[in-house]
Amino acid sequence: MRYSQVTFGKDLYALVYADIVQFFDAEKEENLNLEFKSYPALGTVQEKENSIMKAICGMLNSEGGVVVWGAPTEERDAQGNTTAQGVLTPFNTNLDRDRLVNKISSLIIPLPIGIRVQQLNDANNDSVFVIEVDNSNQKPHQFKNNYYIRIDGQTKIAPHYLISAMMKSIDFPIIKGHLRLKNVKLIQGGLNLSFRKIIFNTSKFNNEINAFFKIVTPNTIVVGDDSYPGEFSNTFDVFNHGGPIASDFDVLVNSSDLVQNDNNFDITLSFGGQKSPSKMSVYQYTFASGISMGPVTDESIFLTSKEENTLPTISVSDDEYIDNFLNED
């Protein structure tokens, strides 16, 4: 199924302007395969076209997807998540579908294959472009001597190791992992927090091998009838698309620990495999006195911060990190 059908429920060339208006009636969030580009009043035409080329280049070097050019003005939260909702930003342009495809083909190298463009005009003949990008088998692609990639739901300059891997025709499966708070229960001496974990291989034709995950929290993790102080992990020989690693677990939090940490509770999910880089999803919740108990339909009322599917970072150089590790008591 093509990305436009997944995103809008229609083939790209069956879309009409009203479909895009309706799509953004509700808040939509960018993801690995979906990027929004509004057309702001400020900035030159060249800057705006360059931004589109970077987005397309990033899709080509990842798994493909859809770019909406003329989307509502984007908003980004403290965790870097980008959303858009409301009025579109159509623009007057001399570009049409063929001219835009030709421009993409001439500016991104090697020549991208599988770019489809739909131009949708409003009553004033201003345009919104929906650009569908296939997963490329000619990676890596570059625009103006830079390589871009979709990672953490954003288009970024690609790290060297990914470019090196693409040049060696090593294709990384894209793994995503999430936790969701499902229930809060008062128990003697504290809280019982119920979570759901899901780890998903988004690469349809690239299985991960020796996949792993690890859940880390200062508290006791309960899986089935077994308890694990502070950490629970598991491994899987083969991890394919359509077969997510999903399960529920509980965390027992002492009231004294909550008080000591200003009612904050932290939990981290790390995951990866032999072929894909390790990532992590980090969450902080606040459980103040007087909170409602029972099933959680909206975890945002407890959620203080959330950073999902990010690459681990080290704030010091590799040599400093090694020295610090060797010098620990």
CATH architecture for the domain at 175-310: Sandwich (2.60)
- Name the E strands within 95-207: 108-109, 115-121, 127-133, 142-143, 146-151, 154-157, 175-187, 190-201
Q: Where are the alpha helices (DSSP H) in the chain?
A: 3-8, 17-23, 45-60, 97-107, 160-167, 255-260, 318-327
Residue 318 pLDDT: 65
pTM for the structure as a whole: 0.57
And the tokens for 226?
């077994």
Q: What values do phi and psi take at 116, rounded to 5?
A: -120, 140
Q: Which residue has the higher pLDDT, 276 or 19?
A: 19
Distance CA(110)–CA(73), nearest Å, equals 31
Quickly state the pLDDT bin for 54 (edges 50, 70, 90).
Answer: very high
Nearest to 314 by CA among 275, 276, 274, 280: 280
Place of tokens 């203080």: 304
Average pLDDT, integer, range 297-307 = 92
* 120-164 pLDDT, tens digit each: 999 999 999 999 999 888 889 999 999 999 877 788 888 887 787
Residue 315 pLDDT: 58
Distance CA(145)–CA(108), nearest Å, equals 9
Indicate if the pLDDT at residue 96 is higher than 80: yes
Q: Where in the chain is the domain with CATH 2.60.40.10?
A: 175-310
Q: Where in the chain is the domain with CATH 3.30.950?
A: 3-167
CB contact at 8 A, 89 and 124: no
And the tokens for 70?
């003329």
Nearest to 271 by CA among 198, 180, 192: 198
Quickly state the pLDDT bin for 313 (edges 50, 70, 90).
Answer: low
Average pLDDT, integer, range 274-292 = 89
SS3 label, residue 178: strand
Peptide bond into 229 cis (omega under 30): no
> Within 13 Å, how many C-alpha atoms sit on residue 135's CB side?
16
CB contact at 8 A, 287 and 299: no
Q: Which residue has the higher pLDDT, 10 or 167?
A: 10
Indicate if the pLDDT at residue 316 is higher than 60: no
Quickly state the pLDDT bin for 242 (edges 50, 70, 90).
Answer: confident
3-167 topology per CATH: 3.30.950
Residue 169 pLDDT: 59
SS3 label, residue 49: helix
List all residues 6 or more positions away from 42 whose beta carbon is below 8 Å from its beta carbon: none
Task: Spell out a b/e string for 216-253, using b for 16 or more CB atoms within 10 Å of the CB, else e.
Answer: bbbbbbbeeeeeeeeebeeebeebbbeeebeeebbbbb
Distance CA(133)–CA(118), nearest Å, equals 12
Residue 174 pLDDT: 86
Quickly state the pLDDT bin for 317 (edges 50, 70, 90).
Answer: low
Average pLDDT, integer, range 215-232 = 95
Residue 204 pLDDT: 75
Q: Which of 82-96, 164-178, 259-273 has the lowest mean pLDDT?
A: 164-178
Indicate if the pLDDT at residue 329 is higher than 70: no
